[in-house]
């Protein structure tokens, strides 16, 4: 059983947050080396970050982030609704379990959701009870939907999961290609102070996130996630381990500029306390 007291070891402020989100693709050998170090059996197939704990992702985030999580979702939807005409085509890149896709589809927009984790998309599809959302299991770097969208979303730390400059460039190019000439993209860029751990325990969920610096020069971190929870009175647990990277806003925004999209509006003020800057980008 988990301890009964409700402890949030790190305050829900700008510093605590986005460590929870990011990852990089690690090859199978490295994954298995890490699993062995953690006392786990090797995997036969390469998994994507979030695959192992997709089923508890929503609960883990809702509980450990508390009211900030709902507040952030509400602000995101508010900003998107302000900038998007009714019945628009929206592409949600790194859509996860549909935090934004599902309410936006229910508001009448046409949603396409893309994610590198098949397990996260499975949860999204289950929650999309009216089957409003088209899903694509794919990394943003290799996405080619042969279509442009009025609105492209790439938020909640998706960029931190890209640890290689070439992958970052390819991902940005993909966002540019999928944004229509008159459309816009909403992105977030987590701040360096947000690459920190988290310790959360309640009577139903225990969550430990450890973020360790691997290379301070380039802002590369090792991310370890341990989630334990009670299901049908039995204790279940999931682990995840991947790398994440801090990108300076200038690096990302310059790349967008080179590839044909510029900042239309810095909306970071709307997201104070999120630990990230938020930008609206459009074609020149």
Ligand X SMILES: C[S@@+](CC[C@H](N)C(=O)[O-])C[C@H]1O[C@@H](n2cnc3c(N)ncnc32)[C@H](O)[C@@H]1O
By CB under 6 A, name the binding residues for ligand X.
21, 48-50, 94-96, 99-100, 114-117, 120, 139-141, 155-158, 161-162
- Give min distance, CB of 93 to ligand X, in A: 6
Min separation Cβ 217 and ligand X, Å: 23
Whichever of 95 and 205 has its CB closer to ligand X, that residue is: 95
Triad 100, 104, 109: Cα angle to 5° = 140
Q: How far apart are CA 277 and CA 268, in angstroms?
A: 5
Minimum Å gap between C-beta 235 and ligand X is 25
Residue 222's closest CA among 55, 19, 1? 19
In the complex, the smallest distance separating the C-beta of residue 77 from ligand X, rounded to whole angstroms, is: 11
Least gap, CB of 33 to ligand X (angstroms): 22
With respect to ligand X, which residue has the nearer C-beta, 50 or 178?
50
Q: Which is nearer to ligand X, 205 or 209 (CB)?
A: 209
- Residue 274 CA to residue 18 CA, distance in Å, equals 8
DSSP helix/strand/coil, 263:
strand
Please give the residue whose beta carbon sits closest to ligand X in the complex. 96
Nearest distance from C-beta of residue 27 to ligand X, angstroms = 15
What per-residue string of b and e applies to 132-149 under the rule 16 or more CB within 10 Å gives b?
Answer: ebebeebbbbebeeeebb
SS3 (DSSP) at 19: helix
* Whole-number Å distance between alpha carbons of 255 and 247: 12
In the complex, the smallest distance separating the C-beta of residue 234 from ligand X, rounded to whole angstroms, is 26
Contact predicate 189/256, CB 8 Å: no
- Residue 71's H or E segment, with its range, is helix 67-83
Cα separation of 172 and 166, whole Å?
10
Residue 214 or 230 with smaller CB distance to ligand X: 214
How many whole angstroms separate alpha carbon 274 and alpha carbon 280?
A: 16
- Shorter beta-carbon distance to ligand X: residue 157 or 243: 157
Q: Which residue's CB is nearer to ligand X, number 92 or number 150?
A: 92
For residue 261, the cross-strand partners are 283
Q: Please identify, using beta-carbon distances, which residue of 155 and 253 lies nearer to ligand X.
A: 155
């Amino acid at each position: 059983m988990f301890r009964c007291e409700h402890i949030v070891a790190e305050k829900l402020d700008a510093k605590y947050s986005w460590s929870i989100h990011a990852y990089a693709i690690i090859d199978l050998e490295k994954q298995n080396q890490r699993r062995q170090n953690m006392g786990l059996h090797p995997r036969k197939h390469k998994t994507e970050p979030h695959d192992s704990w997709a089923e508890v992702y929503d609960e883990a985030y809702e509980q450990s982030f508390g009211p900030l999580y709902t507040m952030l979702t509400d602000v995101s939807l508010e900003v998107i609704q302000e900038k998007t005409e009714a019945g628009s085509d929206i592409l949600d890149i790194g859509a996860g379990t549909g935090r934004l896709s599902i309410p936006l589809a229910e508001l009448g927009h046409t949603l396409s959701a893309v994610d590198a984790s098949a397990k996260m998309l499975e949860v999204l599809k289950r929650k999309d009870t009216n089957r409003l959302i088209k899903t694509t299991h794919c990394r943003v770097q290799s996405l080619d939907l042969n279509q442009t969208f009025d609105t492209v979303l790439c938020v909640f730390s998706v960029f931190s999961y890209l640890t290689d400059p070439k992958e970052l460039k390819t991902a940005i190019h993909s966002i540019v290609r999928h944004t229509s000439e008159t459309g816009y993209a909403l992105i977030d860029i987590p701040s360096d102070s947000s690459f920190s751990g988290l310790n959360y325990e309640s009577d139903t969920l225990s969550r430990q996130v450890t973020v360790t610096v691997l290379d301070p020069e380039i802002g590369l971190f090792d991310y370890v996630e341990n989630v334990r929870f009670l299901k049908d009175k039995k204790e279940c647990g999931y682990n995840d381990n991947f790398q994440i990277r801090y990108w300076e806003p200038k690096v990302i925004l310059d790349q967008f500029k080179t590839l044909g999209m510029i900042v239309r509006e810095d909306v970071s003020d709307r997201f104070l306390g999120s630990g990230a800057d938020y930008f609206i980008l459009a074609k020149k």
